[in-house]
A and B are shown apart, each in its own frame.
Chain A
């Protein structure tokens, strides 16, 4: 569905709209906290403190749709009220395309993911200040969302341009009756100029890196490369890269069932939490055999998963260039350097 509506809304009216949303939805938005920008639950008390950072937050939209830990045996763990996430970024939305493939695709739909996904409304915003570790431009992305959102925000001057991306977004604007006007050509031109500027900034930031001619071939034929061992030398196996990643989907099911001697007394309960291919035990089978015993094997797996296995089995690139793993890495491993090092020297 292509919806081309773009409105201009004065900041004051946008704020009234958010206030109105609070009556119907649970609203989550970035606030400036001592540790930086963080998603917080919004109430009338902190509504004024909502900010729209020019770059992605440490947390991605994944945290809200596929929580780090959840019970997957009881229906009551599912949301009561629809949730609106404000301020997600283009990279988050792209990552959700990957997660959708995994959890909603195939023969079997994950009912928990599906419920969270359907009950979450995504309001994205442009990235006028992409960070030093952002590299979406190298993977075909851009610092503003073109799809996957319900509403997208581009702030210009005293107002905001609002792109309507879905029927849900459209209904929300109508129902909460926000005072809006169709976006004028002049304002769209300003936005285009802003967006172009952030693209230029990204290009400048990443000018040292090159992933070869075709991203589909970025790791191809490099399984035996010494690059993996070289970069694994500083890896501490902390799994921060996969935990912070907006598109990593792995989890472990653990058992919290109540045992019993009778059929009627046994009650099954399963908990799932994010797991990481970077942890030693991830591929270990009973008896101790483990195909990925070494750090370098596990580091390599992450790249093969994202750039080779997912594209070939699911037709998705499982990296969106958000660069969160670069920020999170204790060993200062930069995914851009790893991918560039694999390419023949220019």
Chain B
């Protein structure tokens, strides 16, 4: 088997989330199943390849969503692509969120910006078997209300009895009735059972850093904080070296790590 060769996937739908974030609903030619938190390599034919974590439910078998911010070469080209066009995907790679270790616990999700993408998948994973979790709390922060992804889904989530949702924006506009301030302020709004909870964090590096520090300050244990690490995984299978994080390869040992596993590695927030 050739691990470097993608399978074809047709773009079934393009959803504009914000001015620079789109969700692409992909229909792979062959079935593609993944555990939430695992990532895939997406090829824009003739342009390049980049790693993304699916944002759709792991329970969904024949489609996979990827929510992508336009930041570099591959993503800019991808943003030009339309419905019915063809990309490549290979994977899934790495270790996802260990849902089974979270059963019976309070699950705190802390997301920032487009970091909500893997967390949406995770959340949908949780909601797919919601009775197995004691409590699900979602905290989400973005720069402005305009930058919120999954706007219509948030409306549903906010009504969902199984879910507590807190949102904040760095800079509010007239219509914003929720919290204003950096995402960590949300953590002061509720209490969790520290002996029986996990926290899952994903967002830009600076948000991950201060989010994690705040959680630690509040008494969360490093082994119960799960982080999705962003590195430039190229091969996805632990051979090419790009995603080395200390002694780990993010592609095979991660991308989900507990803070405890990586806290002594100097490069983690850079």
Complex alpha-carbon distance, A252 and B205, angstroms = 24
Known: A73-B4, A108-B238. A283 touches B48 (CB 8 A): no
Would you give the shortest CB distance from B121 to chain A, in whole angstroms? 19
Q: Are B247 and A313 in contact (CB under 8 A)?
A: yes
Q: Interface size class for chain A?
A: 35 or more
Which residues from A are CB-within-8-Å of B49? 253, 255, 270
Chain A, range 92-129, C-beta contacts under 8 Å to B: 102-103, 106-108, 110-111
Residue of A nearest to B269 (CB): A291
Tell whether B2 is near chain A: CB-to-CB under 8 Å: yes
Complex alpha-carbon distance, A79 and B268, angstroms = 41
Tell whether B104 is near chain A: CB-to-CB under 8 Å: no
Q: Are B46 and A256 in contact (CB under 8 A)?
A: yes
CB within 8 A of B10: which of A263, A267, A284, A291?
A263
CB within 8 A of A309: which of B8, B44, B84, B244?
B244
CB within 8 A of B46: which of A106, A257, A312, A313?
A257
Known: A277-B241, A282-B242, A283-B231. A289 touches B270 (CB 8 A): yes
Q: Mark A239-283, 1 if CB is under 8 A from B, else 0.
A: 000000000011111111111111100111010100101000011
Chain A, range 173-197, C-beta contacts under 8 Å to B: none
Tell whether A163 is near chain B: CB-to-CB under 8 Å: no
Known: A266-B45, A312-B247. A285 touches B239 (CB 8 A): no
Chain A, range 21-74, C-beta contacts under 8 Å to B: 72-73
Q: Are B241 and A254 in contact (CB under 8 A)?
A: no
Which residues from B are CB-within-8-Å of A309? 244, 246-247
Which residues from B are CB-within-8-Å of A110? 3, 237, 239
Q: Are B242 and A258 in contact (CB under 8 A)?
A: no
Known: A255-B46, A255-B48, A257-B46. A72 touches B4 (CB 8 A): yes
Query: Binding site of A, secondary structure by majority: helix, strand, loop or mixed?
Result: loop
Tell whether A286 is near chain B: CB-to-CB under 8 Å: yes
Q: Interface size class for chain B?
A: 35 or more
Q: Are B5 and A108 in contact (CB under 8 A)?
A: no
CB within 8 A of B240: which of A259, A275, A305?
A275
Tell whether A308 is near chain B: CB-to-CB under 8 Å: yes
Q: Are B4 and A272 in contact (CB under 8 A)?
A: yes
Q: Are B239 and A249 in contact (CB under 8 A)?
A: yes
CB within 8 A of B241: which of A249, A258, A262, A312?
A249
Chain B, range 33-61, C-beta contacts under 8 Å to A: 43-50
Which residues from A are CB-within-8-Å of B3? 108, 110-111
Which residues from B are CB-within-8-Å of A263? 8, 10, 29, 86
Would you give the shortest CB distance from A285 to chain B, in whole angstroms? 5
CB within 8 A of B1: which of A73, A111, A255, A260?
A111
Q: Are A275 and B48 in contact (CB under 8 A)?
A: no
Which residues from A are CB-within-8-Å of B6? 268
Q: Are B241 and A255 in contact (CB under 8 A)?
A: no
CB within 8 A of A286: which of B74, B235, B252?
B74
Task: Pull 21 A–B residue pairs with CB atoms less than 8 Å apart, ordered by A.
Answer: A73-B2, A102-B239, A103-B239, A107-B237, A107-B238, A111-B3, A223-B266, A250-B242, A253-B234, A255-B43, A255-B47, A255-B48, A255-B49, A259-B44, A272-B235, A275-B241, A287-B71, A291-B267, A292-B267, A313-B247, A313-B248
The list of the 10 closest CB pairs from A to B, nearest first, reads A250-B241, A291-B270, A286-B72, A257-B45, A259-B45, A291-B267, A309-B247, A287-B71, A259-B46, A286-B71
The residues of A with any CB-CB pair to B shorter than 8 Å are 72-73, 102-103, 106-108, 110-111, 223, 249-263, 266-268, 270, 272, 275, 277, 282-287, 289-292, 301, 305, 308-309, 312-313
Given contacts A266-B88, A291-B267, 13 further A-B contacts (CB under 8 A): A106-B252, A108-B3, A249-B241, A252-B240, A253-B234, A253-B240, A263-B29, A268-B5, A268-B43, A270-B4, A287-B72, A289-B270, A305-B244
